[in-house]
């Protein structure tokens, strides 16, 4: 596996560190960010093509799942 060194400002590093999982490497963290970005773009493409019967329940379920993924 090849490794690369990147340079970022200290303030950006601290922001990334605060949202990175405790036992997560930066490589895994960036991989997760990139993959989730693709998923967001796919969801944006689908916007408006689905009708939700109970939007509030769906939003709560999504929020709960996000919290599970962060811990």
pTM for this predicted structure: 0.50
DSSP state of 53: S
Helix (H, G, I), strand (E, B) or coil at 19: helix
Q: What phi and psi, each to the nearest 5 degrees, are found at residue 44?
A: -65, -40
The string of pLDDT tens digits covering residues 11-44 is 888 888 888 888 999 899 888 888 887 777 776 7
Tokens linked to 32? 């997760």
- Which of 23, 53, 18, 19 is closest to 33 using CA atoms? 19
Tokens linked to 19? 């949202």
Domain ranges of the chain: 10-70
> What is the percent of the chain where pLDDT is above 90?
4
């Amino acid at each position: 596996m090849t490794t690369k060194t990147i340079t970022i400002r200290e303030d950006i590093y601290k922001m990334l560190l605060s949202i990175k999982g405790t036992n997560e490497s930066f490589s895994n963290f960036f991989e997760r960010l990139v993959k989730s970005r693709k998923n967001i773009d796919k969801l944006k493409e689908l916007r408006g093509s689905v009708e939700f019967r109970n939007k509030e329940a769906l939003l709560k379920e999504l929020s709960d799942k996000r919290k599970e993924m962060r811990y």
